[in-house]
Structures are given as structure tokens and as C-alpha cells.
Amino acid sequence: MINLKRFLWSGLLLLPLLGLLTGYAYAHIFFNGIFAPWHLVGKPGKNIERIIGIRDVEKIIVAAESGDVYSLEFMHQGEVALPSQLLWEAERADMVDSAYSKDWGEDFRTLPPPFSVKQLIMLEYVYKVEGRGEVKFALDDDGNLWMWNHAIAGLTGLVYFFHPVIGLMVGLVVVLVVFGINWLKRIGALQFFRAKHFGFL
């Protein structure tokens, strides 16, 4: 028969290891942008039929169901950031480049979009000289454009060191606190404290 108390104490000793693994898992999620959300960009007043491509690593080009072509700037000084007020610009169809993507960065993982994907393109880019980033644009069945983006700087990889260490230390603190309380109980210090301050054993 399993001694429940001994089993619990043995499990307690595994807390530092659990903290270490939890810290590593969090670092991996953070580094790869696994929980980075999709953002609704919308449409230029008309339903979008297809994504044509990306121009000059800063504009997304789309074609509406009416046949009109529009562009939207999404990159500013190396940062992926949509303007507070979206400014769709009309484009000449014969002046639009086709889609392209350069392998400049990491292929970050992406959560499944919260919509049915009709079309998706992505672009990897340099982020702050030593970093790297990725932006994805997706078109849903309702003619709306969505955007996903994640970037890491040159020193972001240090999260793989700091977060596991933090998790390990938290686990050790919990173990030491529990063992300390148990030790106080054994020597009667806790009972003495109760009698002195609360008037009962």
C-alpha cells in the first residue's frame, strides 16, 4: 500500500525540477510567439478578393471583389505597426508587384487563426539589426484582412536562461518553506508561539 504522506513529500522534492521545466516552457512560448494573437485589419470599404503581395517590405497589396487594387502600409522604420487610422490607397493594377518572401528570419509558430483562412502570405524581416521577425497576412471568407506579427531582438534568447532559473528558484523556495514549517512543528516552536500569542496549544 502506498504511503500517501511519503508520496507527497517525494512529490514536493520534484518541485524545483517542475519549476525549471515550467520556466523553460514559458521561455519557449515567449521566444516563438506561440500565443501572439491575430489582429483584424479589415477591408478598404469593399470585400477583399485576394492578397496580391507585399511591396518594398512595407505595404500589403490587395484586390477587391470589384477589381480595384488597394495598398496599406504596415511597416514603419523597421517596426510592424498599423497606423491608428487605416489609410487604404488606390493602386494601379499594372504597377503592382507579385508576392515575395525572403528567408531573413525565424519561422515562428502561429496559433490557428480564429477564422476560416482563404489565403495566407508571410514575410520574414530583419528586426533591430540583430533580431528577426515575421509578419503574416490572412484573408477570411468575409473579405477581411487579418495580421499576425512577432519579433525578437538580439538578446531575447536569454529568456531560455533566466526563466528556467527563476522557475527553479521558486520551486526551491516552496520546498524550503514547507520543510521549515514542518521542522518548527517537530521542535514544538509553533505550538509555543500559539500558546504565547493566542492563549491555546
What are the residues whose beta carbons fall under 8 Å from the beta carbon of 104, sequence distance 6 or more? Answer: 124, 125, 126, 132
Tell me the average pLDDT across 153-182.
Answer: 81
* Strand ranges, E, within the chain: 38-42, 48-55, 59-64, 69-73, 75-76, 79-80, 89-91, 117-127, 131-140, 145-152
Banded pLDDT at 194 (limits 50, 70, 90): low
Lookup: cell for 146: 487579418
Angstrom distance (rounded) from CA 131 to CA 162: 19
What are the residues whose beta carbons fall under 8 Å from the beta carbon of 2, sequence distance 6 or more? Answer: none
93 pLDDT higher than 90: no
Which pLDDT value is given to residue 98?
57
Across the chain, mean pLDDT equals 77
Whether 67 and 52 have beta carbons less than 8 Å apart is answered as no
Banded pLDDT at 172 (limits 50, 70, 90): confident
108 pLDDT higher than 80: no
